[in-house]
């Protein structure tokens, strides 16, 4: 997976998105939104659902929850010692 299109070319800052590009990202954004709802934030939709997780999934699916995709953290390449031990 590439990072193309995750930052604004002019500023290098992460782009604000409203539509998840994968099921995995949908779940991550919905989980974060669910926590906001559990802490007292107001829902952005009227829903027949009562549970924060279900409301959050509906909001994200409808593109009502803006989010940004941060660039991956720099990770070091594991170093292999002569004795076979890997340093991470």
Neighbour-count burial of 29, counting CB atoms closer than 10 A to its CB (0-12 exposed, 13-18 middle, 19+ buried): buried
Q: What is the pLDDT along the chain (88 residues), one digit of tens a residue?
A: 344 446 666 666 778 888 999 999 999 999 999 999 999 999 999 999 999 999 999 999 999 999 988 887 766 665 556 665 555 5
Encode burial over 42-62: b for 16+ CB neighbours within 10 A, e otherwise: ebbeeeeeeebeebbbbbbee
| Domain ranges (residues) in the chain | 20-63
């Amino acid at each position: 997976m590439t990072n193309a299109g995750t930052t604004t070319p002019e500023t290098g800052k992460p782009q604000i998105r409203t539509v998840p590009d994968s099921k995995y990202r949908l779940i991550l954004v919905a989980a974060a939104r669910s926590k906001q709802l559990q802490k007292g934030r107001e829902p952005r939709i009227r829903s027949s659902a009562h549970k924060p997780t279900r409301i959050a999934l509906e909001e994200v699916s409808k593109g009502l929850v803006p989010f940004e995709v941060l660039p991956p953290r720099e990770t070091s390449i594991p170093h292999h010692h002569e004795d076979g031990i890997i340093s991470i």
